[in-house]
Amino acid sequence: MRALVKTAAGPGLELADVTAPQAGTGQVLIRVLRTGICGTDLHIDSWDDWAARTVRAPLVLGHEFVGEVVETGPGVQDVKAGDLVSGEGHLVCGKCRNCMAGRRHLCIRTIGLGVHTDGAFAEYVVLPESNVWVHRHPIDLDVAAIFDPFGNAVHTALSFPVLGEDVLITGAGPIGMMAAAVAGHAGARSVVITDVSPYRLDLARKMGATLAVDVSQGAIADVMPGLRMSEGFDVGMEMSGRADALQDMIAHMSPGGRIAILGLPTGEVALDMAAIVTRMLTLRGIYGREMYETWYAMSVLLQNGLDISPVITHRFGYEQHAEAFAAARSGRCGKVVIDWTRPTLAAGAS
């Protein structure tokens, strides 16, 4: 089969012919239809320090996908050939304390699809049945391909109640944009999102943000009076991984405010602990998706009218993978999707 492979340690990827996987006991073989490019894939492509420490070549990349089940191995009961599916990319041990308690997203021995084991940037991928999410309602294939990052957005956005609350999101990347859409759909009074990219701020407005603020040109405090806010934001969602963004967020939270943190900083972050303690703020780390409460919530949100399709801005065929990665790295994009049923598409941007 054709697959996008990190063939050796170092920068770059290769579209290569590799042996197709087979479904073993409890596993499902899936023909991949679409994949989304994640920031993790960009790290592996560029071979930064994290990738050099984490990844062992050769490796098929990719963990955001949608596909059709073509074969099931012995013991598979609830998934059948022909099912349209996405996949949970965190492969858990099933035996640690959290797995046994049903908190699989907290598994201490999680293995990442397309990071520690061959992934979905290929014509076929294999997953355990327990990691397969069957789409039982009509869904756009491109949207289904980005259920993984959509899940990050939903997990973050719904970590705290947002109904009637003023929400601040720092970082207007694709997940931040989708979180803004989710928070608005869930009844937030206002959703303010910050970034320094005019392109992404404009896209965030299209996704439903009340205000999209360029923090290189103005301050968060400047928009609060116009929103009739006097005490600060009720719920914060830190998506950027920037220390200054989290610090700024803490400074603008109301007493008792709650912050969900998805962005991963590259270094240590100094926090105003006096403000956190005396204003009784709650900070919660978010990683991945709750299995499978978040997946259920994603499907229900879409069935009830949430539209995240504007976040998908570029589409490419699998032979255009270099162009697709360049678009994803440029910052002038939302989500970039690769079509694994066609080698090329007439136009990359939509």
- For the chain, which domains are there? 2-146+308-339 (3.90.180.10), 153-285 (3.40.50.720)
Q: Please tell me the predicted confidence (pLDDT) of residue 177.
A: 98
Alpha helices in the chain (DSSP H): 39-46, 49-54, 97-100, 141-145, 147-157, 174-185, 198-206, 243-251, 273-278, 293-303, 321-330
Q: How far is residue 309 from each of residues 129, 172, 216, 313, 321, measured CA to CA in Å?
A: 27, 16, 28, 9, 21
Q: Does the pLDDT value for residue 213 go beyond 80?
A: yes
Which position among 7, 19, 35, 40 bears the catalytic label? Answer: 40
Amino acid present at 285:
G
Both tokens of 46, joined, read 């560029």
| Rg of the Cα atoms in the chain | 20
Both tokens of 15, joined, read 């579209």
The pLDDT-based confidence of 346 (bands split at 50, 70, 90) is confident
Give Dmax (Cα) for the chain: 62
The pLDDT-based confidence of 350 (bands split at 50, 70, 90) is low
Report whether 103 contacts 46 (CB < 8 A). Answer: no
Rounded mean pLDDT, 325-335? 95
Three-state DSSP class for residue 105: helix
Rounded mean pLDDT, 57-72? 98
Q: Please tell me the predicted confidence (pLDDT) of residue 348.
A: 58
Closest CA to 183 of 17, 84, 308, 92: 308
Q: Does the pLDDT value for residue 347 go beyond 90?
A: no
In the residue annotation, 40 being an active-site residue is answered as yes
Q: Is the peptide bond before 318 cis (omega within 30 degrees of 0)?
A: no
Q: Please tell me the predicted confidence (pLDDT) of residue 219.
A: 93
Model-level pTM?
A: 0.95
Tell the residue number behind the tokens 């399709």, with chain if given: 309
- CA 330 to chain CA centroid, nearest Å: 18
CA atoms within 13 A on the CB side of 249: 34
Which position among 7, 25, 35, 43 bears the catalytic label? Answer: 43
Query: Which residues, in sequence order, are bridge partners of residue 65?
Result: 35
Spatial distance between the Cα atoms of 162 and 1, rounded to a whole number of angstroms: 45
CB atoms within 10 A of CB 348: 18
Query: In a 10 Å sphere around its CB, with 0-12 CB exposed, 13-18 middle and 19+ buried, how is residue 18 labelled?
Result: middle
